[in-house]
């Protein structure tokens, strides 16, 4: 079901006490904003060791939800250092980010592995936030649509209708992540509309209209309203600005 949504990706930041302090500030700053017809669903995605504590600090049954930043593709077994989707669900996670460009780049996660992770996450009842986005040279050589189209076809469109229904897509141009260089609202809208059109082709028009598509890449308290006002932008996946409670609260109120 399509909805407004803001997810905060804390990446590899904050100790346990720091994370608890930040989530307390976010809940205080954002609770009044988290009501009303346009109010977004809010997903907080801390590092693994903070998940349970942060989840406990979120008001239950409302707009706040817990998400992880990654999961393994198997349910359990001899995979030292890994965390399974089932474990995430058991500590209260409802969402999991998959395909983030940092993991594609530094951890060499490819479409085949991401396909397995998607299936495993869905089987455990988690809702994937699946990231796509082009590098700068791809944009500069006018290959953005080809690149994103391939990421969608290879990474996502193998899912059944029922599985795809659980997925949120995040368009995150790599050149905009953590760089302070945001896509213009027109650039974001253009790619979001393209993604929706590709979903319509792969599934159907109703599925496309029902899909939540987020923008990510240096979104902040100043530019969120303009980005979220675009017809195909349903919210944001927020990195740096999600670590500042006041900024994150402003972003949540930007619909
Ligand atoms: C991200 O990591 O998903 C992200 C969008 O980061 P930032 O907002 O810092 O660019």
Could you tell me if 34 and 11 are in contact, meaning their C-beta atoms sit under 8 angstroms apart?
no
pLDDT for the residue numbered 38: 85
Known catalytic membership, residue 100: yes
Atom from ligand 1 closest to the CA of residue 236: 5
Q: Is the CB of 220 under 6 A from ligand 1?
A: no
CATH architecture of 5-252: Alpha-Beta Barrel (3.20)
Note if 192 is an active site residue: no
The atom of ligand 1 lying closest to the CA of 216 is: 5
Q: Which amino acid residue places its CA nearest to atom 3 of ligand 1?
A: 239
> Against a cut of 0.85, is the pTM above it?
yes
- Ligand 1 within 6 A of CB of 219: yes
The pLDDT of residue 61 is: 84
| 240 Cβ below 6 A of ligand 1 | yes
Q: What is the pLDDT of residues 28-61, one digit of tens each?
A: 998 776 667 789 999 999 999 999 999 999 999 8
Confirm or reject: Cβ of 59 under 6 Å from ligand 1.
Answer: no
CB hemisphere CA count around 116 (13 angstroms): 10
Q: pLDDT by residue (tens digit) across 2-26?
A: 999 999 999 999 999 999 999 999 9
Residue ranges with strand state E in the chain: 5-9, 41-45, 64-68, 95-98, 127-132, 168-171, 213-215, 235-238
Q: How far is the CA of 238 from the centre of ligand 1 (A)?
A: 5
**pLDDT tens profile 214-223:** 999 999 999 9
Which of these is catalytic: 72, 109, 172, 192? 172
Ordered DSSP codes for 3-68: --EEEEE--S---HHHHHHHHHHHHHHHTTTS-STTPPEEEEE--GGGHHHHHHHSPTTSSEEEEE
Across residues 188-204, what is the average pLDDT? 98
Gyration radius from the chain CA atoms = 17
**What pLDDT score does 34 carry?**
60
Measured from the CB, is residue 214 less than 6 Å from ligand 1? no
Give the angle subtended at the CA of 79 by the CAs of 76 and 82, to the nearest 5°: 85
* Confidence at 251, pLDDT banded by 50, 70, 90: very high
* Closest-lying ligand 1 atom to the alpha carbon of residue 220: 8
CA of 86 to the centre of ligand 1 (A): 26
Take atom 1 of ligand 1 and give the residue whose Cα is closest: 239
Does the C-beta of 237 come closer than 6 Å to ligand 1? Answer: yes
For ligand 1, whether the C-beta of 235 sits within 6 Å is no
Catalytic residue from among 100, 109, 134, 192:
100
For ligand 1, atom 4, the nearest C-alpha belongs to 239
């Amino acid at each position: 079901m399509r909805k407004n949504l803001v997810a905060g990706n804390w990446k590899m930041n904050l100790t346990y006490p720091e994370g608890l302090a930040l989530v307390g500030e976010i809940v205080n700053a954002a609770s009044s904003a988290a009501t009303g017809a346009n109010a977004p669903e809010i997903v907080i995605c801390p590092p693994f060791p903070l998940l349970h504590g942060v989840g406990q600090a979120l008001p239950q049954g409302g707009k706040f939800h817990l998400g992880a930043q990654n999961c393994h593709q198997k349910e359990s077994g001899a995979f030292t250092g890994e965390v399974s989707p089932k474990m995430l669900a058991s500590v209260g996670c409802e969402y999991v980010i998959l395909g983030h460009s940092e993991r594609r780049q530094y951890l060499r996660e490819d479409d085949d592995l991401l396909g397995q992770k998607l299936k495993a996450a869905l089987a455990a009842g988690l809702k994937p936030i699946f990231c796509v986005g082009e590098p700068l040279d791809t944009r500069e050589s006018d290959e953005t649509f080809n690149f994103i189209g391939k990421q969608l076809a290879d990474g996502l469109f193998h899912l059944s209708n029922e599985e795809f229904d659980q997925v949120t897509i995040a368009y995150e141009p790599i050149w905009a992540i953590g760089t302070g260089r945001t896509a213009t609202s027109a650039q974001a809208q253009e790619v979001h509309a393209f993604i929706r059109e590709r979903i319509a082709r792969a599934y159907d028009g109703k599925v496309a209209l029902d899909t939540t598509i987020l923008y990510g890449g240096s979104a902040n308290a100043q530019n969120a309203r303009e980005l979220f006002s675009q017809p195909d932008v349903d919210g944001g996946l927020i990195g740096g600005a999600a670590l500042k409670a006041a900024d994150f609260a402003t972003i949540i109120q930007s619909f």
